[in-house]
Amino acid sequence: MLIGILDGQNVFVSTEGFPGGWQPRTFGTSSVPEQNCSLAKVIPRFNQSLSTPITDRSLSSGKMFKSGISSFARAARPSFATAAPRRAIRPASIRFPLNSRFASTAGVGDGKIYQVIGAVVDVKFDTAKLPPILNALETQNNGQKLVLEVAQHLGESVVRCIAMDGTEGLVRGAKAADTGAPITIPVGPATLGRIINVTGDPIDERGPIKTDKFLPIHTEPPEFTDQSTSAEILITGIKVVDLLAPYARGGKIGLFGGAGVGKTVFIQELINNIAKAHGGYSVFTGVGERTREGNDLYHEMQETSVIQLDGESKVALVFGQMNEPPGARARVALTGLTIAEYFRDVEGQDVLLFIDNIFRFTQAGSEVSALLGRIPSAVGYQPTLAVDMGGMQERITTTKKGSITSVQAVYVPADDLTDPAPATTFAHLDATTVLSRGISELGIYPAVDPLDSTSRMLDPRIVGQEHYDTATRVQQILQEYKGLQDIIAILGMDELSEADKLTVERARKIQRFLSQPFTVAQVFTGIEGVLVDLKDTIASFKAILTGEGDNLPEGAFYMVGDLASARTKGEKILADLEKN
């Protein structure tokens, strides 16, 4: 029988059993072992070694554990040094500790392109030391800078990277330099009014961004002790949102909907309503969406003076659109978030962060995962779906210095809310606004589902008892109407009791009153957009519930602001009917 015990320098081996047959076997350079060693002597020494760190002479030549546990933090990297072309600012408020997972290091030098397979690029280095995971490498492709992000260490001094732009024209043997840091982007007031891409380069043809402030896109979320927990409502001016699923200032808001139900229009209306009245800075991040929409948004912001080419702008735009490689779409949300974090942590601002579309972030992560050869999980998504989403969402938070209020459009594949991508996003949100295809087919816009949309802010201790009671009564009457629809479809309205008929009548008016003309949709509808104050919203719905609108036709409640507008419209409809 073969038994071995390691004491830190020697291994004691027995082939015959216990006490009598112990023989020391020395590995590497060690002290002379005790002679006539017995089990009684070996066991205490072995136990003692468990409480002490494994030394460089633990096994064989001692190379296996040379780095020790401390180097498991990818992060043990000194500050930005020689190789980084952009030196990150390091104010006290956003200084990263040296043992941070994402601290910067002196670059390991140049490697050579070893293999190119689409968006995946392998780089071979001559040294045993390799650039850490998430570090950025830079190479030249047809005279243009191409950024690669380290994703895997393959062995034999080869790292596998994901390209942030197209790799057409890239050849084996080309030089790739380690920057010594993650992708580093410009931040600060100089980014306002500009359009940048995932690597922080301007794409608006207005020259370079003039700033000396740069930050890496990968960083840790704020500590729990630095976060703020106060609850305050963000008034949007959109009736259905403010009444039934109010947004939290400094919270995370999700817009869920399938294709073509109005997510982007809704976000543009929120930018129009909040960003103008808000006064602070906004960051709009286009993740994997249509280039046309980004172009339209840029020109609309110029027309409304949110962006002033010669003056002070209020918004920074970050785009990684549908035509970009998966690496860019998987990281562009972090680029936009990093700009917002600077305004929050350094300038103490309350920042609005718009992300359209967070599903494309997940989708790009799935593509990258497949390119790296990872085994997919449910429905083909990456096995690290929850970690990828959590790593980003945890950084979107309110601290004692400032806040980030994020509004995220979430595409729902095949209108299935149980799909892993939207389901994973749900867990991080303070409020969810669900856009329904059934409601949009009725011509009611915004097509917000009043029964599926939720908010943790709908609490009498936060919004007040009157608001809470009105909202719950509206949801109750709409739920009762939903339950009666099958009876109406089979037997007709005549078979309902008088009380049920009244419920149906008021519910249909409430359903239409939840519609609202949008300013950004005025060119399509021909109806001037309106903002409705929260007090007017509560008073109007309360009046409809108590029967003040019973004498008005249903059409009077469609696409109006408050109850006074509905009365005016209703009187006009009734007058036209009398004439005819």
Of 77, 194, 213, 263, catalytic: 263
Q: Does the active-site annotation cover 367?
A: no
Torsion region of 399: left, alpha or beta (phi above 0 gives left; psi -120 to 50 gives alpha): beta
HEC-encoded secondary structure of 294-314: HHHHHHHHHHCCCCCCCCCCC
Q: Could you tell me which residues come within 8 angstroms of residue 479 by beta carbon, excluding any fewer than 6 positions away?
A: 451
Can you state the angle between helices 358-371 and 326-345, rounded to 10 degrees?
Answer: 130
Q: Does the active-site annotation cover 263?
A: yes
Residue 459 phi/psi, 5° resolution?
-140, 130
d(CA 176, CA 138): 5
Of 149, 269, 289, 324, catalytic: 289
Q: How many C-beta neighbours within 10 Å does residue 392 have?
A: 18
d(CA 274, CA 234): 9
> Residue 579: in which H helix or E strand, if any?
helix 563-579
Of 45, 290, 401, 508, catalytic: 290
d(CA 4, CA 59): 13
From residue 489, give the alpha-carbon distance in Å to each of 363, 483, 493, 507: 40, 11, 8, 16
* Residues 342, 346, 352, 358, Cα dihedral to 10°: 30
Give the residue numbers annotated as catalytic, written as ranges.
263, 289-290
